Amino acid sequence: MADTTGRMIRIGNASGFYGDRFAAVREMLDGGELDYLTGDYLAELTMLILGRDRMKDPKSGYAKTFLRQMEDCLGLAIDKGVRIVANAGGLNPHGLAIALRELADSLGVDAAIAFVDGDDLTDRAADLGLGNPLTANAYLGGFGIKAALDAGADVVVTGRVTDASLTVGPAASEFGWGYEDLDALAGAVVAGHIIECGAQATGGNYSFFTELPRMGHLGFPIAEVGSDGSSVITKHPGTGGAVTVGTVTAQLLYEVGGPRYLGPDVTTRLDTITLTQEADDRVRVSGVCGEAPPATTKVSLNHLAGVRNEITLILTGLDIEAKAELFREQFTAALPTQPAEMDWDLSRLDRTDATTEEQASALLRCVVRDPDAKKVGRPFSAAAVELALASYPGFTMTAPPGNGAPYGVFEPGYVAAEVVDHRVALPSGVVERIAPSPLRGDPSVDAEEPSAQLPPDWGPTASLPLGTLAGARSGDKGGNANIGVWVRDPAHFAWLDHTLDVDLLKELLPEVAELTVRRYRLPNLNAVNFVIEGVLGRGVAENVRFDPQAKGMGEWLRSRPVPIPVAFTQQSQEDQ
């Protein structure tokens, strides 16, 4: 039965990706009171990297950084009574659990360690209609973590759970939630989504960063989760950055689609979230509603696709286009065999009558891919080098060409939830199987909503960058990108909602003009969210876009001029 006493637990996060600040674990443990400390180490690209590691050494496949962090901090966490939950197990949570037990013994630390697995479907992929991928991992929910904590685990490591499950599991354990507690689970999902990317909730990658204090060394976020699933997002006192409605809104819009946020335990209604600034560095998250989860479970699939290589040349001064064309013709003719794919990109960064050589230069990039490493390795490199004295004037390259490297492609898959063998190995060694939610079904489909047809009269306008009023956060989901755009003044939302539609977005971002773009409204966050399909090809490891994960796409959009009511900008200046 769910706890209704109004208790609260403090869940901190110390990692947003594999490679995040190493010292964050110690900083979070030393910085103040916590009940749980989570760490998110996995992303679509990370699973590919770990898959390649596992090909070389079957005993690898987990985030080794986490093990080194525990070498430094496991004893401290046990002494403070802070329980650790991390998805650092990657493709080998059992192997990481063994390594942690050996580490605890060597440190003389008495730590109960559990692990969650069953997400790895690689050996069954073909039978499940998923092809023959390098990795195939289902996104598990938080109830395996809950079972481990219920059994007394001090440390729980997992494979591919959803990022928010790292928060859902501890909250469900503390408050006795079951699958039927949909609103509470949804609230925890939102709290988990906010803190999962570490310092992005405390000012990192924030559009209005110039307004925040102490941006040199940001603190990591904490979610104070209540028994009803509501939460307060905060950070340790004295740490850098800030927790504001704006920083929390930005993170809520990161890598999402429509108002319904599908997960294995609950479908979370992002259009029901209410954010309130309670005090400095304290934002309350309330009102979140949950619906039944979908009948299917999402699977992260990575395939090895071949070898990729690239060269970048510097073109300086006059006749940039002609220089690029000369090299393209010479280089293509010089290759002994043509690779399966060859992409060229000329970035005109040069300026007329530049006062520095760098400002007078453009970049020509050639990327090749082929299943056969020989076609894009040494012959590719040699053909570029041999043209050094026989091509355009001023020939130079940004770096010596190399032999290339394997690359992979990502795609999502879906299987029936009941075919995933979600397991937890308890500290006692007993293995418990976790049944999927009995409430799962077919969720409602989010509809794209057009802008209002009859806008109010906002008075005269001036052509100014969209970012004068609006913030944005963008990111990648496989081959798609999302751009969430919000305004801080609720009085400006009607203008944003009416003005920034799909047609205007395509006009402002010509690179996406021919692609399918979907628009969703989130009035409760004063936001609209765009999903741009296929802009990232087959994922970050494969695509050759200048910004392969679309991290800067939102800031590009903010820099583009739009007609903004003069009254809005005058009011903003007065408020500042």
pLDDT (tens digit, 9 = 90+) per residue, 444-495?
888 877 766 667 789 999 999 999 999 999 999 888 999 999 999 999 999 9
N- to C-terminal Cα separation, the chain? 49
Q: What's the rounded Cα separation, in Å, for the pair 216 and 231?
A: 27
The whole-number pLDDT of residue 48 equals 86
**Owner of token pair 């009102």:** 287
**For the CA atoms of 57, 61, 65, 70, what is the dihedral angle to 10 degrees?**
-100
291 and 325 in contact (C-beta within 8 Å)?
no
Helix ranges, 446-539 (H): 493-499, 502-508
**Owner of token pair 């453009």:** 362
SS3 (DSSP) at 240: strand
Q: State the burial class of residue 468 (Cβ atoms within 10 Å of its Cβ: 0-12, 13-18, 19+).
A: middle
Q: What's the rounded Cα separation, in Å, for the pair 49 and 324?
A: 34
109-152 pLDDT, tens digit each:
999 999 999 999 999 999 999 999 999 999 999 999 999 999 99
Pairing of strands 405-416, 296-316: antiparallel
CB atoms within 10 A of CB 551: 15
Q: What's the rounded Cα separation, in Å, for the pair 223 and 8?
A: 10
SS3 (DSSP) at 125: coil
Q: SS3 for 183-208, per residue?
A: HHHHHHHHHHHHHCCHHHHCCCCCCC
The whole-number pLDDT of residue 499 equals 94
Q: State the burial class of residue 556 (Cβ atoms within 10 Å of its Cβ: 0-12, 13-18, 19+).
A: middle
Pairing of strands 431-433, 423-425: antiparallel
Give the distance from CA 95 to its chain's centroid. Answer: 25
SS3 content of the chain, % helix, strand, coil (to 5): 30, 30, 40
Spell out the residues 6+ positions from residue 7 whose beta carbon is closer than 8 angstroms to its own: 174, 175, 226, 227
Which stretches does DSSP call E strand in 270-340?
Answer: 274-279, 282-286, 289-291, 296-316
Pairing of strands 113-117, 155-158: parallel
The whole-number pLDDT of residue 574 equals 55
Level-2 CATH architecture, domain 301-409: 2-Layer Sandwich (3.30)
60 and 33 in contact (C-beta within 8 Å)?
no
Residue 344 sits at φ, ψ, to 5 deg, of: -115, 145
The whole-number pLDDT of residue 3 equals 67
SS3 (DSSP) at 304: strand
Helix ranges, 440-542 (H): 493-499, 502-508
The whole-number pLDDT of residue 560 equals 98
Q: Which residues of the chain have pLDDT under 50?
A: none
The whole-number pLDDT of residue 6 equals 75
Which stretches does DSSP call E strand in 328-371?
Answer: 341-347, 361-370
Beta bridge partners of 8: 226
Which among 63, 542, 122 has a CA at the least distance from the CA of 299? Answer: 122
